[in-house]
């Protein structure tokens, strides 16, 4: 396997540090718009393993699909790993296809709210543009694996595992994420600093969240697409008790890819995603929306065209740099409710916890980006070894979950040494 990874930000940098420990690939090209940043990632990752020479740095404009395709061809890349924010999904996705390479991302093509009824009806959904090209990927004999980060990604794998091994009927697949993370300034005072891209946080948290219900699909003759509908942002708050000392966190509906992926491959009556944003972040997001600072269309400021959302993201700390000032844990998982294999009612939370102290010590990466980065590397290894295979455009739940979960938690060097858990509730 020869991988072209586009993006040397927090997640890309962490992915390179994780991947360099593995033997499943022959080359990893780390490409970024900022060549110096790509070179820094290559240097940091290469230093983790004596005699390492498989990583090289390159420059690329992720918005230019022809440039992506040309770079993939130049390095004879067999797979393109998209590690940049979702604005660039489609040019990278199309560039990989043009180059005859496989593809993997951690976030899907962007949605567009319904122009007249955004808080009830869907319009262009997350991933629609990619799924529309499934026939082209099948014809090319290549696999495009969508949403293979932690969320989306790992919870989709958990959902497949639950469907195959724990439940005979699923009432709801409810992804629930939360954390007890804190970031402090130089004086020790807690400060606001998002654990991942603020651009992406604004996108997914202020867009109308999507829910899927089988009853709606059945009423339309079994059409999966008819089962999707939207709600107002931050709807239906609930307090969810997260494991391993994180504790209770209020979670709200957020637009997220799991809801768009799970119903296509798994049988469930309802699919939801709720995230523990916290009062401070919700207040900030609402204020940004009120002031128009969530807009992506450029505005003119003293003769210069700038995107308000880009400005907001630029003035906040880079998520890749806050690890040394961060404490706490983050948890990703899915609460599955329904009927167990024994015919009895069952509520099971399958989860993965990432501790910032551990990820900083072992990888020099803060826990949010590390938890996101480890899953695509696991998936790429399964693809490289032929355990996961196929063609077309698919989500993680389209594949057997057991090999993934075994590889994730198996002790090093055989596996990735990152355990996951199951709680009955």
- The DSSP 8-state label assigned to residue 334 in this structure reads E
Instruction: Check whether residue 138 and residue 257 sit in a common domain.
Output: no
Please tell me whether residues 194 and 306 are part of one structural domain: yes
Same domain? For 97 and 176 the reply is: no
Q: SS3 for 353? A: strand
Asked whether the beta carbons of 252 and 275 are under 8 A apart, the reply is yes
In this structure, what CATH number is given to the domain that contains residue 324? 3.30.360.10
Give which of 58, 60, 57 is closest to 92, Cα–Cα.
60
In a domain, 313, yes or no: yes
Can you give the pLDDT at residue 67?
A: 98
Do 247 and 326 share a domain, yes or no? yes
Quick check: is 118 in a domain? Answer: no
- What secondary structure does DSSP assign to 243-276, as a single string? TTTTEEEEEEE---HHHHHHHHHS--SEEEEEE-
Nearest 5 degrees, angle CA 32-CA 5-CA 28?
A: 110
**CATH number for position 96:** 3.40.50.720
Using an 8 Å Cβ cutoff, are 100 and 94 in contact? no
pTM of the entire predicted model: 0.92
- 394 and 360 within one domain: no
The pLDDT value given to residue 403: 98
Give the residues across from 270 on adjacent strands.
Answer: 172, 213
Question: Backbone phi, then psi, for 30, in 5-degree steps?
Answer: -100, 110
Q: What per-residue confidence (pLDDT) applies to 36?
A: 97
Give percent helix, percent strand, percent coil of the chain, each to the nearest 5. 40, 25, 35
pLDDT of res. 197:
75
Helices 198-206 and 308-315, interaxial angle, to 10°? 130
Which H or E run contains 229? strand 228-230
Question: Are residues 301 and 400 both part of a single domain?
Answer: no
CA–CA distance, 243 with 311 (Å, rounded to integer): 36
**pLDDT tens-digit profile, the chain (425 residues):** 999 999 999 999 999 999 999 999 999 999 999 999 999 999 999 999 999 999 999 999 999 999 999 999 999 999 999 999 899 999 999 999 999 999 999 999 999 999 999 999 999 999 999 999 999 999 999 999 999 999 999 999 999 999 999 999 999 999 999 999 888 888 778 887 776 678 888 877 788 999 999 999 999 999 999 999 999 988 999 999 999 999 999 999 999 999 999 999 999 999 999 999 877 788 888 898 888 888 888 999 888 898 988 888 888 877 777 778 889 999 999 999 999 999 999 999 999 999 999 999 999 999 999 999 999 999 999 999 999 999 999 999 999 999 999 999 999 999 999 999 999 99
**Shared-domain flag, residues 400 and 352:** no
Regarding whether 381 and 342 lie in a shared domain, the answer is: no
- For residue 200, what pLDDT is reported? 80
State the pairing for strand pair 190-191/102-105: unpaired
- With beta carbons less than 8 A apart as the criterion, state whether 368 and 11 touch: no
């Amino acid at each position: 396997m020869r991988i072209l990874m586009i993006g040397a930000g927090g997640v890309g940098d962490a992915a390179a540090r994780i991947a360099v420990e593995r033997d499943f690939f022959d080359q990893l090209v780390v490409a970024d718009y900022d060549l110096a940043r790509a070179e820094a990632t290559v240097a940091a990752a290469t230093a983790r393993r004596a005699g390492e020479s498989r990583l090289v740095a390159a420059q690329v404009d992720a918005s230019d699909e022809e440039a992506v395709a040309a770079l993939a061809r130049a390095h004879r890349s067999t797979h393109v790993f998209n590690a940049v924010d979702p604005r660039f999904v489609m040019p990278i996705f199309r560039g990989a296809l043009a180059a005859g390479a496989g593809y993997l991302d951690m976030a899907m093509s962007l949605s567009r709210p319904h122009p007249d009824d955004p808080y009830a009806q869907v319009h262009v959904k997350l991933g629609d543009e990619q799924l529309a090209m499934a026939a082209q990927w099948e014809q090319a004999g290549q696999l495009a694996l969508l949403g293979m980060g932690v969320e989306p990604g790992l919870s989709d794998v958990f959902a497949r595992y639950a469907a195959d091994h724990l439940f005979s009927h699923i009432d709801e697949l409810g992804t629930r994420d939360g954390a007890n993370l804190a970031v402090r300034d130089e004086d020790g005072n807690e400060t606001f600093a998002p654990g991942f891209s603020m651009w992406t946080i604004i996108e997914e948290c202020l867009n109308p969240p999507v829910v899927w219900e089988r009853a709606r699909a059945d009423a339309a003759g079994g059409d999966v697409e008819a089962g999707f509908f939207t709600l107002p942002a931050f709807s239906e708050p609930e307090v969810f008790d997260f494991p391993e000392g994180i504790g209770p966190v209020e979670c709200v509906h957020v637009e997220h890819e799991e809801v768009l992926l799970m119903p296509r491959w798994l049988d469930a009556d309802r699919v939801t995603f709720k995230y523990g944003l916290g009062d401070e972040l919700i207040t900030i997001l609402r204020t940004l929306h009120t002031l128009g600072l969530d807009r992506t269309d450029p505005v003119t400021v003293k003769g210069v065209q700038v995107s308000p959302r880009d400005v907001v993201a630029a003035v906040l700390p880079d998520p890749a740099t806050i690890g040394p000032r961060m404490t706490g844990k983050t948890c990703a998982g899915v609460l599955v409710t329904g009927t167990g294999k024994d015919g009895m009612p069952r509520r099971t939370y399958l989860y993965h916890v990432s501790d910032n102290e551990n990820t900083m010590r072992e990888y020099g990466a803060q826990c949010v980006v590390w938890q996101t980065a480890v899953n695509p590397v696991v998936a790429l290894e399964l693809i490289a070894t032929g355990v996961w295979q196929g063609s077309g455009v698919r989500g993680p739940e389209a594949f057997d979950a057991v090999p993934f979960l075994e590889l994730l938690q198996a002790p090093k060097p055989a596996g990735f040494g990152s355990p996951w858990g199951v709680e009955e509730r």
